[in-house]
Structure 1
């Protein structure tokens, strides 16, 4: 075990949880917020230079991109949890083997997705309801082709940031994320704003930025600065870690698959009860929601090393303290985001408009209705990640599946009574129910950790 790894483990065992929480959470949240900002800027470039049909095209294609994000989340969360638990138990060799195993899995998934997806892209566009030959379909096809071709970079960027953060370098993880974000903004400006390449340019810019992050992250793990340093002569994956990584990361995959399915269901209902403008308005709400969701996800990711290590080291008091810190910050962020969306919806929607007042009006209403339950939505996200980090995957899986079980009927029934507004209100209704249920689960978990800590004392 290296001196760096010993120091990191000693810090996780001895430093005050409040200090460790902010050490990991602030860089993680900052990195995710930067990612959210460049996603928003992507939307701004598309809205201004491609128009409402460009926003609609991204919404149509994005369920397939979210499948890739789900696989990346599965690998990232599964590997991060496995590595943290192995290190908490003092098994440095097992942690290094898990790192190599997840890189092998990344290569396998990264080759399989374009090998199957690119020859079947027209079939996929048909599933996504992009069946005509209008401008929306043209832009959706161009965007999806590039994102399928570069799937390994989309998944790899997520994985590298997780692994670097788990290696005791949250600042470096944030720096990599920020660099990727800034590079993506610059490339979008050049490719979409100046060269007029439309959504193909947006996808190419994103993939180049992700590729730079992946390359720099791999350089780090082969350097002397890495705690889990890799050497060319000792690249031996731990095959026994493959199944635990996939199992521990499955709730993250299912969470993203749920989001992909729900995005598809929203698109279907928006076409039925609205029109292309409604789909563009949903993209406006989605970009804005992504900023909040990524900030909350960053908070949850920042908690993960603390919770995973405390679980592996059997330190219930420290696990409880990290959990409570995360929940408090989550609720504060949720309340602030809700206030901003309710007070300034038209101002936010105008960021994505090429001057169309109709898009501003539709986007403002979508923001006000669709994002009503952000604090409780954030609570569910943080709760699921916390349960995964403590290897309680069944509970996390139950909450994730419950979202789909409740939302699909809500999307089908509410529009019958409320029309298009019913589509906007289905998600916040379900988020409120799941958030309250998660609050009960976390309350019991905190009480159980407190009892364990008292017994140990």
Structure 2
């Protein structure tokens, strides 16, 4: 028996029943993602109640840049994952180790570029978004400077966490995530509430937690025999395959940058149309982004579990198992989105009061959330389908599902509605974009499943 066939036999992604495999990967990843969402919500509560509405507005202004950092984490880790999972499924650990090492080189190059770019344009960018409020601009700059300098820890942690996920260690990632995020919450509370460091305390706590998480995952890999050894980082060249990693990671990366662009368009539209309500609406929109960010993360967990299962099984030629995982994931994502819709429609005022004592901010949170929820239930299944085709190595279809809405539909609709009907109708841009992308997803999904079914039938005839 060849080493490759032996590796395939011991790969749980290829042998464990799909239902149990999906639960064992999706639930730990949901814990990982949800803990990050809890952190964002708690941090927002700390900022809103212990620093004030100006700080909450500053964090809202910083949100697009923070999303760019998340996008770059997805670029490196997501691009690596599409390749690594298929290599592991095929039993080629040498190729998987090579991609793992090359992704480290890409992370270092991106980190240097970020620091240089921030030094050149960071201050001017924040000032332009603060609408002439120097206090808010100063708070946002303090926050983002710390986050940019700590970006290498965030990016490298993402790479190592994605590698562990594709090696079947989702449960381990969940345990480490709980520990790191609890540390992060405690560190943020210490910095903001006890030490009085203001918004900088939030950023310092986050960077410290990411550094701790990176140290833990490196330690785990160094002491686990079943994982790719750390020695591959010394033995392999870090300069190869960057273009391949970027090509596969770019659709997911650009989708996160698209979220940042949508947030920027919203802020610009509010600046032009909101008048004296600008600060309250920006603060409320920041609250909404945190709430929907929390709701998005379990969807992402389901999609990431689907990606790992699909990639490993596609690499081994088990299309039937990949499609079974897709069907299960689509249903799970839809069921998660339903209670989110109910909460957004009926509990917006309560949710807003968690973050602020300002009645204007609280009412604005509810007014923003209600229209956003009209087609929100479709967002989870669309994301699952996007990660499914990404795992199959189809960046074009992934781009169609992840980039059309944030880069084209939502910004254009926001601008058109805000100019034509005012701020109150602007929020309808989000459900309108959701409805259009759902129709696109149905067409792509039917095509993908039909193609896979045809290939499977031909394979059976050939056998």
User: Which shifted more, 113-122 or 301-310?
Assistant: 113-122
* 1:28-177 matched pairs, under 5 angstroms: 28-127=29-128, 129-130=129-130, 132-177=132-177
2:446 to 443, 447, 453: 443
Q: For residue 8 of structure 1, report the CA deviation from its aligned partner.
A: 7.5
Please tell me whether the aligned partners of residues 284 and 352 of structure 1 are also in contact (alpha carbons under 8 angstroms).
Answer: yes
User: Which shifted more, 45-54 or 376-385?
Assistant: 376-385
Name the SS for the 2:223 alignment partner.
coil
Whole-angstrom distance in 2 between the partners of 1:195 and 1:412: 42
Write out per-residue CA displacement over residues 310-354 of structure 1, whole angstroms, 9 at most, x where no aligned residue.
Answer: 22112211111011111111111111210121121111111101x
Q: For residue 2 of structure 1, report the CA deviation from its aligned partner.
A: 9.3
Q: For residue 21 of structure 1, report the CA deviation from its aligned partner.
A: 1.1
Please tell me whether the aligned partners of residues 105 and 239 of structure 2 are also in contact (alpha carbons under 8 angstroms).
Answer: no
Please tell me whether the aligned partners of residues 103 and 238 of structure 2 are also in contact (alpha carbons under 8 angstroms).
Answer: no
Q: For residue 220 of structure 1, report the CA deviation from its aligned partner.
A: 2.0
Show the counterpart of 2:388. Answer: 386
1:376 to 371, 378, 392: 378
TM-score by length of 1: 0.94
| Runs of 4+ in structure 1 over 6 Å off | none
Please tell me whether the aligned partners of residues 344 and 369 of structure 2 are also in contact (alpha carbons under 8 angstroms).
Answer: yes
Change (3 A) 1:2 1:293: farther
Structure 1: runs of 5 or more not aligned:
none
Write out per-residue CA displacement over residues 5-32 of structure 1, whole angstroms, 9 at most, x where no aligned residue.
Answer: 9378532222211121111111111210
Whole-angstrom distance in 2 between the partners of 1:339 and 1:331: 13
User: Does 2:240 match 1:244?
Assistant: no
Please tell me whether the aligned partners of residues 99 and 237 of structure 1 are also in contact (alpha carbons under 8 angstroms).
Answer: no
Show the counterpart of 1:204. Answer: 204
Q: For residue 131 of structure 1, report the CA deviation from its aligned partner.
A: 5.5
2:424 to 414, 421, 426: 421
Please tell me whether the aligned partners of residues 161 and 173 of structure 1 are also in contact (alpha carbons under 8 angstroms).
Answer: yes
Please tell me whether the aligned partners of residues 370 and 424 of structure 1 are also in contact (alpha carbons under 8 angstroms).
Answer: yes
Please tell me whether the aligned partners of residues 285 and 370 of structure 1 are also in contact (alpha carbons under 8 angstroms).
Answer: no
Show the counterpart of 1:307. Answer: 310
Name the SS for the 1:351 alignment partner.
helix
Whole-angstrom distance in 2 between the partners of 1:297 and 1:233: 28
Whole-angstrom distance in 1 between the partners of 2:58 and 2:234: 46
* 1:326-345 matched pairs, under 5 angstroms: 326-345=329-348
Write out per-residue CA displacement over residues 254-304 of structure 1, whole angstroms, 9 at most, x where no aligned residue.
Answer: 111111111110111122222110001101111110011111111111111
Whole-angstrom distance in 2 between the partners of 1:109 and 1:226: 30
Whole-angstrom distance in 1 between the partners of 2:104 and 2:3: 21
Whole-angstrom distance in 2 between the partners of 1:156 and 1:131: 34
Change (3 A) 1:166 1:232: closer
Write out per-residue CA displacement over residues 130-186 of structure 1, whole angstroms, 9 at most, x where no aligned residue.
Answer: 263532112111111111111112222322221111122111111222222111110
Whole-angstrom distance in 2 between the partners of 1:135 and 1:210: 28
Whole-angstrom distance in 2 between the partners of 1:19 and 1:325: 11
Whole-angstrom distance in 1 between the partners of 2:3 and 2:127: 53
Please tell me whether the aligned partners of residues 71 and 155 of structure 1 are also in contact (alpha carbons under 8 angstroms).
Answer: yes
Whole-angstrom distance in 2 between the partners of 1:2 and 1:48: 58
Q: For residue 49 of structure 1, report the CA deviation from its aligned partner.
A: 1.1
Q: For residue 119 of structure 1, report the CA deviation from its aligned partner.
A: 4.6
Whole-angstrom distance in 2 between the partners of 1:233 and 1:260: 33
Show the counterpart of 1:357. Answer: 359
Whole-angstrom distance in 2 between the partners of 1:8 and 1:53: 57
Show the counterpart of 2:412. Answer: 409
Please tell me whether the aligned partners of residues 125 and 131 of structure 1 are also in contact (alpha carbons under 8 angstroms).
Answer: no
Please tell me whether the aligned partners of residues 8 and 90 of structure 2 are also in contact (alpha carbons under 8 angstroms).
Answer: no
Change (3 A) 1:114 1:50: same
RMSD: 2.1
User: Which shifted more, 208-217 or 380-389?
Assistant: 380-389
Change (3 A) 1:270 1:126: same
Change (3 A) 1:286 1:416: same
TM-score by length of 2: 0.93
